[in-house]
Structure 1
Amino acid sequence: MHYIRAFEVGRNPTSSKYEMHVRFRTLKNGPAIRNRLRLPHPVKTDLRICVIAPPDSKAAAEARAQGASLVGEDEIFAQVKDGIINFDRCICYLDSLQKLNKAGLGKVLGPKRLMPSTKTGTVVSNVAAVGAMVRDMVSGSEYRERDAVVRLAIGQLGFTPEAMQTNIKTFMDSVKKDIARLVGPTKEIHEVVLSSTNSPGFTLNGEFKGANSVAPRELSGPL
């Protein structure tokens, strides 16, 4: 963190983020891991959440309260048909599912993996579930293996060493569980790298910690 923060001097500590890169030893065409989790210290994302629900319903009110950026039915359907997709995730309240299917948006949202479905768990049947899913998407983190590497924003630059340590442990525990659940060829963690928006990567192998290392309390204040 001491080295990385040196590369971020003068930058807004809330706009720059720490990033984790986990590299695997794995077969080229072997199974890939994909998951989402809620970190103990969430990293604010810019995900725009759309909730298909009757505009005046309790589900719609709960979605707005939890941070959904777009809530409704007909207006959203019209925008999508016009090619305007101002969201990154889409949830559908069960009461609106039939109306969503009649709108015929599958051809537009399907290829973008935005079409809500019971199979992907993005169709929810009660108000509490709508709120919980929106809250999880807003503060949750999603990761997916690409080219034998998983990347995740693990913290903001102003996070304390203790907060970073907790987030990193939570993420690594989740990745190890994902590996254990895989069926088929084995996958092993080869290297774990920490970087930031504007810094190079540093391997988390202990080489940067020594007798003259900066104490954690000195990294807990302003940049």
Structure 2
Amino acid sequence: MTISDAAAVLRAVEVATPWSAYELHVVTRFVKGQPAPRGRISLPRDPRTKEEKVLVFAEGKQAEAATKIGASFVGGGELIDDARLNFTTTGTSVLSGKIEPTKVICTPALLPTITPKLSRFLGPKGLMPAVRRGTVTDDVAGAIKQARGMLEWKGDRQGVVRTPIGRINFPVEDLEKNIRTFLQAVKAATAEKDDLSVKRKVAASSILQVHLSSTQGPGIQISDI
């Protein structure tokens, strides 16, 4: 089914809930033992309804810059306890409730301070600052701007990537732009590598199937990709 036809079916299902989400499921060719495909992307139209809550570990002028640009939480080591996770008797973990960030940014100077105390708590949530993700930096203002506009995605152990891709009330043109932009990013991240890359266990895949679904609707395979 084409993107426009699939969207029409899902809109009919979600007629009473126009803010429901479209979700894209991308099945990639995946070799067992290789790392899951992952990446970051800025879509033409942001499908998220909740604003990013950015926690910034910074001091001095960098803290001032973070506050000025509108970071949700800014501070140094005194914020560690508020950002720490508490473990329940069932083994699950939840944020303390004082600070519930969706992104965490840290300056290089404070990274040695927060790493021993927060890595085991923020790491499993995908929130631990890292240089490769651009969240350990002296340019906190730039990182905040990027964090607000970037959508992170990651495949599961079978190489299936799931991501919100739009809202039911989006025009089909906006939905299609988001889908095609996202698929290009997945293709780039899962492009077949040379033998040396494979030996290094770089994810070497291609897109096999794409399904579009919604909160209450079925998954529909997309043909025009």
The TM-score normalised by the length of structure 1 is 0.75
Match of 1:3 among 9, 12, 16: 9
Structure 1 unpaired stretches of 5+:
207-223
Alignment CA distance shift 1:174-1:86 (3 Å): same
Q: What's the secondary structure of 1:180's corresponding residue? A: coil
Match of 2:107 among 93, 97, 115: 93
Match of 1:137 in 2: 147
Contact 1:193/1:203 (<8 A) preserved: yes
Q: Distance in 1 between matches of 2:84 and 2:208?
A: 45
Q: CA deviation at 1:81?
A: 5.1
Contact 1:43/1:139 (<8 A) preserved: no
Structure 2 unpaired stretches of 5+:
1-6, 87-95
Contact 2:66/2:144 (<8 A) preserved: no
1:108-135 deviation digits (Å, cap 9, x = unpaired): 4445443324354321113xxx233223
1:85-164 correspondence runs (5 A): 86-94=100-108, 96-97=110-111, 100=114, 104-110=117-123, 112-126=125-139, 130-146=140-156, 147-164=158-175
Q: Distance in 1 between matches of 2:85 and 2:28?
A: 42
Alignment CA distance shift 1:135-1:119 (3 Å): closer
Match of 1:17 in 2: 21
Match of 1:212 in 2: none
Q: Runs ≥4 in structure 1, deviation > 6 angstroms?
A: none
1:126-160 deviation digits (Å, cap 9, x = unpaired): 3xxx2332233223211111122111111111111
Q: Distance in 1 between matches of 2:204 and 2:111?
A: 40
Q: What's the secondary structure of 1:6's corresponding residue? A: helix
Determine whether 1:35 maps to 2:36.
no
Match of 2:4 in 1: none
Q: CA deviation at 1:94?
A: 4.0
Match of 1:80 in 2: 83
**Bigger radius of gyration, 1 or 2?**
1
Contact 1:81/1:105 (<8 A) preserved: yes
Q: What's the secondary structure of 1:79's corresponding residue? A: helix
Alignment CA distance shift 1:158-1:143 (3 Å): same
Number of aligned pairs? 197
Match of 2:189 among 147, 169, 178: 178
Q: Distance in 1 between matches of 2:168 and 2:210?
A: 19
Percent of aligned pairs with the same residue?
A: 34
Q: CA RMSD in A?
A: 2.7
Q: CA deviation at 1:29?
A: 2.6
Contact 1:20/1:151 (<8 A) preserved: yes
Q: What's the secondary structure of 1:187's corresponding residue? A: coil
1:174-216 deviation digits (Å, cap 9, x = unpaired): 111112264328423211111111111111115xxxxxxxxxx
